[in-house]
Amino acid sequence: MADLSKITCIEDLRAIAQRRVPRMFYDYADSGSYTQGTYRANEEDFQKIKLRQRVAVNMQGRSTRTTMIGQDVTMPVAIAPTGLTGMQHADGEILAAKAAKAFGIPFTLSTMSICSLEDIAAHTEHHPFWFQLYVMRDKAFMERLIDRAKAANCSALQVTLDLQILGQRHKDIKNGLSTPPKPTLKNLLNLATKPRWCMGMLGTQRRFMGNIVGHVQGVSDMGSLASWTADQFDPTLNWNDVEWIKKRWGGKLILKGLMDAEDARLAAQTGADALVVSNHGGRQLDGAPSSIEALPSMVEAAGKDIEVWMDGGIRSGQDVLKARALGAQGTLIGRSFLYGLGAFGQEGVTKALSIIHKELDTTMAFCGHTNINQVGAEILVPGTYPQPFPKPFSAA
């Protein structure tokens, strides 16, 4: 058991993960597209929002419990779907799912995960979890994925809408990102400095994309996987696809990757249960607003028929509280849990969740509240937080 008593913030976990995870996989998780301007703004714009400190308020009996699409959660946080999580740490998706289960928050498995749907179900005793689906050209494969998600006891399907084409991430190209790592001299030298990671990977058979390899005809190794995946993201994705998925799935549906008010209104019309205000962690359209800056417009446009969540830049419980104050029913965390996973495995994910929960609970109290469900914009200093964007000009 690692001694995590001196780990006090997510930044501590990030620094350790950077030392322990091979460069190509650390950079894959911790970078944005092109200039990385939106990636940086996701964090920086949270810091501009100031909190109102209240005093002489009874702070006993605090509760951060709430619901996300009707599911009880310890705090308004879920683990976001992140690709190649099992390359941050051996069996990473399994470890993160177990940590989330124990903490009482949802875990979301990515289509592009290393561990499979069946792996997560088997190692969490069929505890309900969420599954993230990409819209692909191979509709028969999508049908099988949806059916496998049902069989694995997934309680919600999260459809990502902002990856029809890929934004360029310079570090991935420079590092020659692949799973497993290509045996170049540069990569081998870097791996030699990561003995803990290497020992973990030697101890598992899960080194490829478990939801794909063995489930698609002709895809049995890295070469065939790479060529198949490169041609699969569907640039023709439209709202009719969402309707088809909704009917095929038949359960709780979450739409992820929305940043525009018009898209929020269209999402509400689909009958989906939640939408996630997200710019893919700054990994797609560089130059887009930060997620927290876009949130008020999305809440206003979505109305009451669909829950609004957000992700992007959350590194503390204060960030969660600010998002909640601006109308987000829930939040998703990606890099924050990945740092913990890369640093210390399952214990690190638990530590990341504990850090965020403690900061959320303490900051809520300092702002004069004891119940997360009663928090609103009144806890924020006027003039420091984003307002809904003006409606865009349209020619007559």
Active site amino acids = 280
| Cα–Cα dist 268/155, whole Å | 20
Q: How would you class 260 by CB atoms within 10 Å of its CB: exposed for 0-12, middle for 13-18, buried for 19 or more?
A: middle
Q: Read out DSSP for 285-319?
A: STTPPPHHHHHHHHHHHHTTSSEEEEESS--SHHH
* Residue (of 40, 42, 11) closest to 311 by Cα position: 42
DSSP 3-state assignment of 175?
helix
Q: Where are the alpha helices (DSSP H) in the chain?
A: 10-20, 23-29, 37-47, 92-103, 117-123, 139-151, 170-175, 185-192, 195-202, 222-230, 239-249, 261-269, 291-302, 317-325, 335-344, 346-366
| Cα–Cα dist 186/176, whole Å | 10
Compute the radius of gyration of the chain from its Cα atoms.
20
| Cα–Cα dist 46/36, whole Å | 17
CB atoms within 10 A of CB 44: 13
| Cα–Cα dist 17/189, whole Å | 18
| Cα–Cα dist 237/257, whole Å | 13
Q: What tokens were used for 280?
A: 């893919």
